[in-house]
A and B are shown apart, each in its own frame.
Chain A
Amino acid sequence: MQFKIPSFPGRLAALLLALLPVATRGAGELNLFGWSEYVPQPVLEGFTRETGIKVNFETYSSNEEMLAKLVAGGGRYDLVQPSDYTAEAMIRRKLLQPLDRARLTGLGNLAPEFTGRAHDPEGRYTVPYMSGSVGIVVNTEKVKTPVRGYRDVFQAAHRNRIVVVNDSRELVSWALYALGQPINTIDAASLARVRPLLAEWIKLVKVFDSDSPKTALLNGDVDLGVVWSGEAALLWREHRKFQYILPAEGAHQFVDVLAIPTGARNVTEAHRFIDYILRPEVSRQISAAFPYTNPNLAARRLLTPDELANPASYPQGGKLESFRDIGRAAADIDRLVTDLKSAK
């Protein structure tokens, strides 16, 4: 038996056929770029099961890292998860595209206080994902003195027993709060004012960790700290001795949002994912895994009384404030904190 060698057009067709799966791989896919420890795996699997859309999930651990990669590798991501102040800068820089709100049927589930905020007043570009605060967590079995604000944490008595998030802007904002200064006005003068206080504070800290500050507390290496509320909520769930306190001087509240970058290839899939997240039963799953403050009211109704009673997830009172974009000052903050850390 003899094989017939196909003609040139036949060979070309065969070649194109072989390449077809490669060329069409873009359809039915979603490139999600989100925070580490923030999107539960079952949520991603549930979305793929229902829609057939494959999710490529990549993570980052700071807004700045996300921006660096987004700007460097433009067009690779279909959906990002910036914090409010970063979203504000991205909108200004035209790095985000307007959403088609008609395709987002679950928008009505959101609590009004989480929509129309300063970063995106008309809600054209962003949909809130989760919210939280940065506050004090205390192991009440080890620390017996009352702790109400930043100045109570950074005491000589707690030297080497403190963990804080490794985030220079957070550190500077706590010192600004303690001095009664506005946290969103950062210039040479305000940095000079916080410098002496921050220098004292940094000497007292044992661990700087943004990824998992709860670990040092759980392991007993430190007794108190200033951490993300979600971390504190997980600690409280582990043991009631870990109490969360919103600092009396004021605290940073963040709203992390979902947004579609300009130049995203899978815009339809991105909208479907946002709408999936807005469903109460899906959003409820996120709260169970990462107990931050859920902006989805319909999802909150599905939470257990225990979840709702978690003081770190749903803190009472407190003076909460958002970060705003500070532009170039980020580099000055980094230099100040690097200087103070290496001075000890």
Chain B
Amino acid sequence: MTPFPVAREPGARPGAFAWLLLAPLLVWLALFVVVPALLLLGCSFGERDEFGQVLWGFSLENYARLLDPVYLRIFLRSLGFAALTTVLCLLIGYPVAYHLARAAPRVRELLLLLVLVPFWTSFLVRTYAWMAILREEGLLNALVAWLQPAWAPLGLLYTPAAVVTGLVYSYLPFLILPVYASVEKLDGALIEAAHDLGAGPWRVFPAVILPLTLPGIAAGVTLVFVPAVAMFAVTDLLGGARVPLIGNVIQNQFLQARDWPFGAALGVALLGLFLVSQMLLRALRPRGALRG
């Protein structure tokens, strides 16, 4: 027996009407994603003249410079920071999202609102608030001094730990929301069935809940990891601009060193890295395993 066909078969080609509805998105993507990306690519083969203007041409010199150990090391460190941020977001965000989705509807609405409230203020204002908390004569150190004067003051601000704190804080909602969405869709009957078959909570989580919420985790991880690699404002403000990450290096090429072609090559490399990782992710994801 087939259910009432409310939706097209997944994977079917969209009709003319669907294309019409998609048109604004496609135009937007073409204008603000595809065209700038092509400009970036074109620029990355150019050269910088003495005054810092772009000389268009075809040279692979900028890509050769990417292999300079200075920039390779920064690339690796950025990936490390982003990976740590993602893992911490997952460890903190997954339980939050899970309980959020399973809470009573009224409580859930309130809690969901609390996750979103920080977005109502500017990102920079929130980062400055972290500076007020972490600085030597700040809130956290005042608390430490009150609890255990011998430990105060802790040097928290302008450290890599402060940078990771700022990154986790900024990107946590981007993990919570997709995981929440997939936990909400989770069929309670499947969990009950697992319990009925004798599985305890330690068995149900890895065997049933985790695989079923994997799409939400994958989306959340992507939403955290990708922007975290390229972030530069947090490293400047909370890290005191001491340890450059790849985002800072790119920003410097455009605004300080005024070497746009090299900045573009760094940007293209970053973009390529994401494309490859997305393709790997797609290839690894099991297809249609739950269907039928």
Contact = CB atoms under 8 A, between A and B. Distances in A.
Interface of A: 62, 64-65, 67-68, 71, 89, 93, 160, 166, 168, 205-209, 216, 219-221, 327-328, 330-331, 333-335, 338-339, 341-342, 344
B202 interface: no
A330 B252 CA distance: 11
B155 A64 contact: no
Which A-B residue pairs are the 9 nearest by beta carbons?
Answer: A334-B257, A207-B240, A208-B241, A65-B255, A339-B70, A327-B50, A331-B257, A220-B137, A221-B136
A334 B252 contact: yes
A327 B256 contact: no
A206 B50 contact: no
Contacts of B240: 205-209, 216
A62 B236 CA distance: 15
A208 B243 CA distance: 10
A206 B242 contact: yes
B51 interface: yes
Given A206-B242, A208-B242, A221-B136, A64 B70 contact: no
Interface in B44-82: 48, 50-53, 70, 73-74, 77
Contacts of A160: 155
Contacts of A206: 158, 240, 242
A89 B49 CA distance: 13
Given A338-B70, A338-B249, A342-B77, A331 B259 contact: yes
Nearest to B134: A221
B8 to A, nearest CB: 45
A342 B75 CA distance: 11
A177 B35 CA distance: 46
Contacts of B48: 328, 331
B255 A68 contact: yes
B138 to A, nearest CB: 8
Contacts of A342: 70, 73-74, 77, 243-244
B126 to A, nearest CB: 17
B224 interface: no
Contacts of B243: 341-342, 344
B169 interface: no
Contacts of A338: 70, 74, 244, 249, 252
A331 B254 CA distance: 11
Given A219-B137, A331-B48, 7 more contacts: A205-B242, A219-B138, A328-B48, A338-B74, A339-B70, A342-B77, A344-B242
A327 B157 contact: no
